[in-house]
Amino acid sequence: METTNYYNYKCRAETYCDIEILIRMIFPAIAKFKVVRINENMPDIELTFKSNLPIDSIKKIMREIPDNHVMIDTLNLKHLYTGLR
């Protein structure tokens, strides 16, 4: 029986649209995800997700999304995430 190892990631995004594009681009390599608005007065949101892709592969995919610097700069393993750029 084959098992898949998943990494737990977290990143911040400027818009929900950026997150939606990313999820579509890495599907089916994303196992589970959660989107949370950080602050009602700001548009930024946080994405927590599980994927079997290594971080460098996800960043490469993120670079294909126009003006996506916030997600690229904040992506990290969940336990190392700070949200800072």
Over residues 69-79, the mean pLDDT reads 96
pLDDT score of 44:
87
Could you tell me the CATH number of the domain that includes residue 70? 3.30.70.260
Range of the domain at 16: 7-80
Q: Is residue 38 part of a domain?
A: yes
Return the pLDDT at 2. Answer: 53
Q: Let me know if residue 1 belongs to a domain.
A: no
Would you state the pLDDT for residue 50?
A: 96
Answer yes or no: pTM beyond 0.85. yes
Which H, E and C letters describe the chain, residue by residue?
CCCCCCEEEEEEECCHHHHHHHHHHHCCCEEEEEEEECCCCCCCEEEEEEECCCHHHHHHHHCCCCCCHHHHHHCEEHHHCCCCC
- Is residue 43 in some structural domain? yes
Q: Residue 2: inside a domain, yes or no?
A: no
Q: How many domains does the chain have?
A: 1
pLDDT at 3 over 80: no
pLDDT digits (tens, 9 = 90+) for 5-53: 999 999 999 989 999 999 999 998 998 999 998 888 877 899 999 999 9
